[in-house]
Amino acid sequence: MPDARGSASADVLVVFGITGDLARVMTFRSLYRLERRGLLDCPIVGVAVDDLTVDHLRAHARECIEGTGETIDNEVFARFAARLSYVSGDFTDAATYERVGAAISAACGHGGGDATGGAGGGGDARGDAGGGGDATVR
């Protein structure tokens, strides 16, 4: 639905490769700057093969942003970090995309879920990065 500026807001932003080089040098910094300006208004679901928790992703995001020379405002970063959730999985495995779908549903407040109870708000839906397996929630 369009906002007052005539643009539509997203329900959720999914970033594939959230632990990669592009995210390290550009994506995290750009998203942080959008948060600082009050222009980021959706949850962010990060997807990568790395076996991380959402807390590790948040720490990684902070390190990446600081690594670009950006000065961190702790209140702004806390808002940004609260938007992050994480799905781990092999991009060639269909089960990864099922977990991404569950994380999107959870981030949008539609319940969502998976075989182990779903990805809760701010949590992460994690599975075996080496080729499927079960999804666990932390």
Q: Are 34 and 70 in contact (CB under 8 A)?
A: no
**CA gap 128, 110 in Å, rounded:** 25
pLDDT band, residue 4 (cuts 50/70/90): low
**Looking at the predicted structure, is the pLDDT value of residue 119 above 80?**
no
Question: What DSSP element (H or E) covers 126?
Answer: strand 124-128
What residue ranges do the domains of the chain occupy? Answer: 13-133
**Looking at the predicted structure, is the pLDDT value of residue 51 above 70?**
yes
**CA gap 129, 133 in Å, rounded:** 8
* Greatest C-alpha distance within the chain: 45
Helix ranges, the chain (H):
21-22, 28-36, 54-67, 74-83, 94-107
118-130: average pLDDT = 37
27-46: average pLDDT = 97
Higher-scoring residue by pLDDT: 109, 9: 109
Q: Are 18 and 48 in contact (CB under 8 A)?
A: yes
**CA gap 138, 127 in Å, rounded:** 11
pLDDT band, residue 109 (cuts 50/70/90): confident
The residues with which 88 forms a beta bridge, in sequence order, are 48, 126
3-state helix, strand, coil in the chain (%, to 5): 40, 20, 40
Question: Worst-scoring range by mean pLDDT, 10-14, 25-29, 38-42, 78-82?
Answer: 10-14
User: Looking at the domain that runs over 13-133, which CATH code has it been given?
Assistant: 3.40.50.720
* Residue type (1 letter), 12: V
